[in-house]
Structure 1
Amino acid sequence: MNFLELTMYEVARLFLVPVLLIISGLFVFAFVSLGGFVVEVVQRRNVRRRAALCPLRQYLTRDDSHSGVSSESLQLKILQLLEPLRVTTRIAPMLGLVATMIPLAPALLALGDGDLAQVGENLVVAFAAVIIALIAASITFLILTVRRRWLLDALHTLEREGVV
């Protein structure tokens, strides 16, 4: 390998640990979000408590004057509430791909040298990272989709009631 190729290889390897740590954090975030989502689903089964669970109503009650509260400001609030889920849904698969590609270079080099044990070690890291990233993205996508529907339905209800 020439200097440029070797430098690019070494720089890419530096990113493996941070990417794996971020994927681990996104995985934990997905499961924490899933726990909160399951609790919210159970609470929503009680029809009388459903209106009290709406974060948009909580946002309105914090604003005593109700001045300046419009449909657009509540839509912005919905985007803010969903942003962590949306970012996780989009970033996790990309980082999974990065975490897959980085160990493939040493695996291919080890394959060329006939070191099958090294090939196996690198492939385990590559495939485990992408699987964990895709699971995190799938969980957060499910939560994002359902919560978006709930929040838009709540916004529609507030508009019907004339609160907004």
Structure 2
Amino acid sequence: MDYFANIEHLLYAVSRVFLMPVLLLIAFSLLYAIAMLGAFFVEGWQRRRQPGTERLLRATRQKLQRMDISSGDMELYILKRLEWLRVVSRTAPMLGLIATMIPMGPALLALGNGDATEVGKNMVAAFSAVILALLAASVSFFILTVRRRWLLQDLQEAERALLLQTESV
């Protein structure tokens, strides 16, 4: 039985090591989501002033350094542009769950010992982490959804422009 207790203590120690990196990843995710929210508002304001097709064609041409652009090249550009938003929107909730579960062990032990202060301290850390992670995921998912629509509309318009360009030649 002592063997299993040693395994439990080892697992607890290993999981506790991951708490700080997970909390840092949640903080970075939240900062990234806030930065992307600002960029999203700027892009929305720019889209009202300038059509997106020219921007998409110009950005893709600069990226590829050639004039013959296929729709596959533009789709790849769009996927690369949305990649980190997708990663944050999908991983932040998982990080929040990890950051919730790690402090729950000490909180339950403190509850068993009748130490309400320690329970409260661990629960605040657990719930704060999951709230911030869900906030980062929600903001990232919202931006991802709208930006994907914008870029796919731009792609459709760019394909039409390229088709008209090749027909006129």
| Alpha-carbon distance in 1 for matches of 2:57, 2:151 | 8
TM-score relative to the length of structure 1: 0.91
| Alpha-carbon distance in 2 for matches of 1:131, 1:27 | 10
How many pairs were matched up?
A: 161
Compare CA radii of gyration and give the structure with the larger one. Answer: 2
Whether 1:57 aligns to 2:44 is: no
Q: Which residue of 2 aligns with 1:88?
A: 88
Whether 1:11 aligns to 2:17 is: no
Which range moves more in the overlay, 151-160 or 58-67?
A: 58-67
Q: Which residue of 1 aligns with 2:135?
A: 135
Write out per-residue CA displacement over residues 97-142 of structure 1, whole angstroms, 9 at most, x where no aligned residue: 0000000000000000000100000000000000000000000101
| Alpha-carbon distance in 1 for matches of 2:57, 2:103 | 45
| Alpha-carbon distance in 2 for matches of 1:8, 1:91 | 23
Ranges of 4+ aligned residues in structure 1 off by more than 4 Å: 61-64
Q: What SS does the corresponding residue of 1:66 show, helix, strand or coil?
A: coil
Q: Which residue of 2 aligns with 1:20?
A: 23
Q: Is contact 1:107–1:119 with CA below 8 Å preserved after alignment?
A: yes
Q: Which runs of 5+ in 1 are unaligned?
A: none
Which of residues 45, 66, 79 is equivalent to 1:42?
45
Root mean square deviation of aligned Cα: 1.8
The one-letter code matched in structure 1 to 2:67 is: H
| Alpha-carbon distance in 2 for matches of 1:53, 1:110 | 61
Cα–Cα, structure 1 residues 72 and 110, in superposed 2: closer, same or farther, change >3 Å?
Answer: same
Please report how far the alpha carbon of residue 54 of structure 1 lies from its aligned counterpart in structure 2 after TM superposition.
Answer: 2.9
| Alpha-carbon distance in 2 for matches of 1:52, 1:45 | 13
Q: What SS does the corresponding residue of 2:158 show, helix, strand or coil?
A: helix
Write out per-residue CA displacement over residues 9-59 of structure 1, whole angstroms, 9 at most, x where no aligned residue: 01000000010001000000000000111111122222xx12377344321
Q: Is contact 1:110–1:119 with CA below 8 Å preserved after alignment?
A: yes
Q: Which runs of 5+ in 2 are unaligned?
A: none
